[in-house]
Amino acid sequence: MRKELPQVKVSFTPHVIPSIRGILTTAHIFLAEGEERMTEQEIEELYSQFYDGKRFIRLRTGKDIPSLGAVRGTNFCDIGFEVEEDSDRIVIISAIDNLVKGGSGQAIQNMNVMFGLDEWLGLWHPGLVP
């Protein structure tokens, strides 16, 4: 495992799609010149360590790309990535339901933490509409 994170440049791409709810994002991570190329296993390990114990973050590995349908009505953030072959680019995709994982879900999650309740209380069951 690497001891230091590589130097990178980041490009963020928002998606405009006909969707009732949800935010799908793509981030293009470009390793700085001279940085050693990272493997998918190294990236997965970094994400797994960073989000260890965070029950609302789900890492999607392999070809399991995050989708709005998979997070609809939930407080989950699905994150997936792929290393572009013969390139210095890593593509990271995330999906959230902005009506739950957004401000309202964050308020409930914060309240739970403040009152010493289980962080997921009230957030584990999917919303019904829209």
pLDDT in tens, 11-49: 877 777 888 888 899 999 888 777 778 888 888 999 999
- What is the domain class of 8-97 according to CATH? alpha beta
Mode of pairing for the β-strands spanning 57-60 and 77-83: parallel
Confirm if 78 and 23 have CB atoms less than 8 A apart. Answer: no
pLDDT at 63: 78
Confirm if 31 and 37 have CB atoms less than 8 A apart. Answer: yes
CA distance 52 to 38: 20
Per-domain residue ranges of the chain: 8-97
At 1, is the pLDDT very low, low, confident or very high (cuts 50, 70, 90)? low
